[in-house]
Amino acid sequence: MSLTLRQIAETAAFASARSTFLIESSRAVTEQHLHNYWKCCRGRTMDWLRKLDALLSEAGVTPPEDHSRLWRTAEPLLAEVFVTEILTRVWATTLTAADLHRRESIGGPIARNTLKSHTEARNRAMSLMVDGLHVPVSQMSRVDCLRRKAERWSDLLIGHLVLNYQLDEFAFESTRSVEFGQSQMREVIKATDEPVWEFVLAGVRLAFSSTDDVELPSDVWNRGVLRSVLGSFPADSFDGTGTFKSIRRVRIERGQPDSDRVVDALLQSSGVSNRSGLRSSLKFSELRKRPTE
């Protein structure tokens, strides 16, 4: 069974809600998890760019009255580019915040590189919508509404990190993201962290529930990205069933071993394989040595 956009957006919400686990951990994210994340993001982006360029080229030689046929191919691709950017931005902000907290440069270069590549794909997708395909506004508006929804949720989910670590560069609208962050912090102080994030997760599920029937073109890459993100969390972030613990509980129980076993349990229901079967020819080591800007 393929992953859905809703599941990917939910993962972004979980990663944001539990970002403190990783940021405050005594161990940095392993190079293996960073490399796998970068590799899967890169492979997915290259596939996106190739498909988007092909659609742009075909649109240029296809009569406008036949563009609806091209749109049926483009729509799930565009939806995937826009919605998966939520997780890309959440993870980029989290890795950079962890670097700032540790006063090191571990995940920051990877975070910026993957977000830059995703932004390139996003810009190409926007060009296809604005200049490439001539389809009824009613068809185009569905995807555009999804894009704007993804932007708002991205800013909401990274709001607390933007506020606490001055990382407004990762927001679509920094003012909106800071306001979201301030609201989240007020609610956490008034009650506990759990009700706040349960409400946020419910909102994400509702917001993207209509996308469950979208057949995503990058399922293998998406699974690799999710595995790398979830695998980066310390083992003490999860209970024995692979469910995230509360922040309070983790702060009491710090110091358990590697998280791969519990991540496997968490992803078992989605059928995510331990072996991605993906290979990369780029030199990750060169990117890894770049200082955080």
User: By the 8 A CB rule, do 52 and 128 touch?
Assistant: yes
Site of tokens 């301030």: 182
pLDDT at position 122 over 80: yes
DSSP state of 174: H
Question: How many Å apart are CA 46 and CA 246, to the nearest integer?
Answer: 37
Per residue in 178-231, pLDDT tens? 999 888 776 665 555 566 778 888 999 999 999 999 999 999 999 999 999 999
Question: How many Å apart are CA 29 and CA 116, to the nearest integer?
Answer: 21
pLDDT at position 139 over 60: yes
- Residue 283 region, left (φ>0) first, then alpha (ψ -120 to 50), else beta? beta
Quick one: tokens of 3? 């992953």
Over the chain, what is the mean pLDDT? Answer: 84
> For 98, phi and psi rounded to 5 degrees?
-65, -40
pLDDT at position 80 over 70: yes
pLDDT at position 63 over 80: yes
Helix (H, G, I), strand (E, B) or coil at 233: coil
Q: What is the pLDDT of residue 291?
A: 52
Quick one: tokens of 276? 């991605």
Q: What is the pLDDT of residue 199?
A: 85
